[in-house]
Amino acid sequence: MAVVNPFTSYIERLARAARALGLSEVEKKRLSEPNNIVDTQIELTRDNGTVERLRTYRVQFNNARGPYKGGIRFHKAADLDEVKALAAAMAIKCAVVDIPMGGAKGGVQFDPKQYSEAEIERVARAFIRAMGDAIGADKDIPAPDVYTNSNIMGIMLDEFQKMHGRNEPAMITGKPQGLGGIVGRDTATAQGGVYVLDYFVSALGFKKKGLRVAIQGFGNAGATAAKILSGDGHSIVGISDSSGALLFETGLDIDKLLLEKNKSGELKDTRARIATNQELLETDCDVLIPAALDNQLTVENAPRVKAKIILELANGPTTPEADVIFGQRDITVIPDVLTNAGGVTVSYFEWLQNREGSIWSEEKVREQLKEIMTKASGVLWKKSKELNVPLRDAAFLLGVERIVSAMRTRRAV
């Protein structure tokens, strides 16, 4: 499979949206490049005293609708084009669920698995120092992403507070709860995706309980979705992780699988058939939830997928060619920018909570998340019907339209 530059894909999609929405050349140009890029090197002193320089980015794509928002990844492959594409996707995602935030993304190009905990802490602190005044509660609010977590966010907050000499918990989200983090952030992505699924199950006329669901990935997004959906009366007929898949027609016991995974690190159920990830993607089910990696549903396996609904909890799991095949086969693909936006939505609640100086209850988080995800699903469904386009195209058009509308109101274009 040819490797597609993610930022080139974004620009191609933008060109189509610009034609459909009648954007001016200036408007198109403003959405083709980030507003700001911090592209620098940080110095890391290793535990053995040697010094390394690590490439470090923060891409601030667009802030017409609110402060920049997006995660920080520690990854070898975090190059500038990838980070730019992810920053643009964040701006679209926040606009699709209509939260008042823009889009950003950051990265440090290194493999954290090769570094000690103390070294990773020094990288986190150096990242914040390298950002200078570019981030802050009213400017740009980072969050965890690939190989960063709540502890790293806590360290970054600490460094920010030391640098600026003030307490500002709203400058970062995904923090530990003791430092102003919000309850329910760890289940937010999956829970938000389940609210979206509930909406589309009704809209498409499927039964509300007893759906047969297959899930690729048993990490934060996949395992939490499996637990919520089985609790809601659906049957998880297949699940997988990086080591392979388990298929069981009458429904797996998710609580038992979670216990076993926590104990041995393995996906194990003696009643289930052991299968490959490819078999999982093609298994007989009503709903398929890719919740692991990008580019999993391709021109090769799309003709054999049996699900009627694909709920994209992962970012970018479907290739453009597979999208065309699903359209021809009348399979509904609910796109990532809507499905997994529960994470950034609850991050927005965390930012609100910190600014209010309050602590939100779990019930309040759940209620508000449900309201936002259900409303966004309804708006998107209507738009896709009106324009007679797939949900993914409708989402991109909706996101761009809302961002451009904010830029026009500000007379920024």
Q: Does 301 bind ligand NAD (CB under 6 A)?
A: no
Instruction: Give catalytic residues, as residue numbers.
Output: 105
Strand (E) or helix (H) holding 375 = helix 362-387
Closest to ligand NAD by CB, 126 or 217 = 217
Output the smallest distance, CB 177 to ligand NAD, in A.
Answer: 16
| Long-range contact set of residues 199-208: C-beta below 8 Å, sequence gap at least 24 | 199/373, 199/374, 199/377, 199/378, 199/381, 200/309, 200/332, 200/334, 200/377, 200/381, 201/309, 203/377, 203/381, 204/309, 204/332, 206/286, 206/308, 206/309
Q: How far apart are CA 6 and CA 3, in angstroms?
A: 9
Q: Which region, judged by CB under 6 A, interacts with ligand NAD, from 201-209, 307-315, 361-369, 380-388?
A: 307-315
Closest to ligand NAD by CB, 23 or 267 = 267
One of 44, 95, 152, 314 touching ligand NAD (CB under 6 A): 314
Q: Which region, judged by CB under 6 A, interacts with ligand NAD, from 7-15, 107-115, 286-294, 384-392?
A: 286-294
What is 268-311 written as a DSSP string? --TTSEEE-HHHHHTSS-SEEEE-S-SS-B-TTTGGG---SEEE
Which residues inside 228-267 make contact with ligand NAD, applying CB under 6 A?
A: 240-242
Which residues inside 177-216 make contact with ligand NAD, applying CB under 6 A?
A: 189, 216
Closest to ligand NAD by CB, 67 or 222 = 222
Q: Does 291 bind ligand NAD (CB under 6 A)?
A: yes
Kindly determine how many residues on this chain lie close enough to bind ligand NAD according to the rule CB under 6 A: 20
**Contact at 8 Å (CB) between 84 and 103?**
no
CA distances in angstroms from 141 to 130, 184, 329, listed in the order given: 15, 19, 41
Any alpha helices (H) in 297-361, and if so which ranges?
Answer: 320-328, 336-339, 342-356
One of 91, 96, 182, 221 touching ligand NAD (CB under 6 A): 221
Which residues inside 26-85 make contact with ligand NAD, applying CB under 6 A?
A: none
Q: Does 343 bind ligand NAD (CB under 6 A)?
A: yes
Which residues inside 365-404 make contact with ligand NAD, applying CB under 6 A?
A: none
One of 218, 326, 349, 381 touching ligand NAD (CB under 6 A): 218
Output the smallest distance, CB 411 to ligand NAD, in A.
Answer: 33
Q: Does 220 bind ligand NAD (CB under 6 A)?
A: yes
The burial class, CB within 10 Å (0-12 / 13-18 / 19+), for 308 is: middle
One of 42, 182, 313, 338 touching ligand NAD (CB under 6 A): 313
Q: How far apart are CA 147 and CA 141, in angstroms?
A: 18
Closest to ligand NAD by CB, 154 or 222 = 222
Name the closest residue to ligand NAD (Cβ). Answer: 219
The burial class, CB within 10 Å (0-12 / 13-18 / 19+), for 389 is: middle
With a CB cutoff of 8 Å and minimum separation 6, the contacts of 182 are 173, 346, 347, 349, 350, 353, 360, 365
* CA-based max dimension of the chain: 63
One of 292, 331, 337, 369 touching ligand NAD (CB under 6 A): 292
Which residues inside 123-182 make contact with ligand NAD, applying CB under 6 A?
A: none
Output the smallest distance, CB 317 to ligand NAD, in A.
Answer: 7
Q: Does 335 bind ligand NAD (CB under 6 A)?
A: no
Closest to ligand NAD by CB, 108 or 215 = 215
Q: How far apart are CA 252 and CA 212, in angstroms?
A: 11
Backbone angles phi, psi at 212, to 5 degrees: -95, 120
Output the smallest distance, CB 86 to ligand NAD, in A.
Answer: 9
Closest to ligand NAD by CB, 44 or 319 = 319
Q: How far apart are CA 83 and CA 95, in angstroms?
A: 19
One of 63, 109, 315, 345 touching ligand NAD (CB under 6 A): 315
CB-CB neighbours of 168 under 10 Å: 17
**Residue holding tokens 């298929």?**
247
Output the smallest distance, CB 249 to ligand NAD, in A.
Answer: 20
The residues that touch ligand NAD, with contacts defined as CB under 6 A, are: 189, 216-222, 240-242, 277, 291-293, 313-315, 340, 343
